[in-house]
Amino acid sequence: MAAILVPDRGQREGPMSVNGTVVKLRPTAGPAGRTPPPRQRNIDRRPREYLTPAEVELLMTTAKRRGRHGHRDATMILIAYRHGLRVSELCRMEWSQIDFATGILHVVRLKRSISTTHPLRGTELRALRRLKREQEPSRYVWMTEHKTPVTPGGFRQMFRRVGEESGIGLAIHPHMLRHACGYKIANESADTQALQHYLGHRNIRHTLRYSELANGHFDGFWKD
């Protein structure tokens, strides 16, 4: 009769051989006999995965009031939102990507996305000029007081705290800014291909989720 072995703590679950007989190891519980809880799904933590334009404005207003880095933090939120940047793309931004004379941002995409150029509006240009004027010369746009670039982890922590202080009532994370950008443009334009290039999607299927859920599809359902 084959034995059933219980692995020691830290031993992987899986088959093993004992005296030529293959037996299967049972998984053990976590520390103190407790089984770790399953990871909570995003849908269980928050009702949606995007922010509204009004919520983004509230976050920027809240960030501006948070001490000496308020302008930098609010500008990071603005640029991430307006250009649908992933947090890693945002934190790697260099001044060489910004052409103040022509009002152009050279967007460098990651995750095999397509890089492109975006126009910079007056609000963005003024905020970026002020930031460059007030901080010491650097290669990267977003710098800490220790003269090092803001890291993705640092931005996530700041963004979470701003969300809590704003009273927005939603557990937020930076990628919601990219989704907010996609949904806003989809609600205001029917050009899905243009949105695809703006967000840098190689496959248009990733873009369709924004256009398919745009509010405009439901206009006119009710006449009163």
Say what the pLDDT of residue 12 is. 45
pLDDT by residue (tens digit) across 155-199? 999 999 999 999 998 899 999 999 999 999 988 877 889 999 999
Topology at the third CATH level for domain 54-172 = hpI Integrase; Chain A (1.10.443)
Task: For the chain, give the percent of residues with pLDDT over 90.
Answer: 61
pLDDT by residue (tens digit) across 140-162? 999 999 999 999 999 999 999 99
- Residues annotated as catalytic (active site), given as ranges: 86, 111, 175, 178, 201, 210
pTM summary value: 0.76
Say what the pLDDT of residue 43 is. 46
pLDDT by residue (tens digit) across 48-97? 888 999 999 999 999 999 889 999 999 999 999 999 999 999 999 999 99
Task: For the chain, give the percent of residues with pLDDT over 70.
Answer: 74
**In 10 A of CB 111, how many CB atoms?**
9
Q: What are the sequence ranges of the domains in the chain? A: 54-172
Quote the tokens at residue 128. 């970026």
DSSP notation for 86-153: -HHHHHT-BGGGEETTTTEEEE---TTPPPEEEEPPHHHHHHHHHHHHHS---SBSSB-TTSSBPPHH
CA–CA distance from 224 to each of 187, 214, 219 (Å)?
A: 22, 21, 12
pLDDT at 28 over 60: no
pLDDT band for position 216 (cuts 50, 70, 90): low
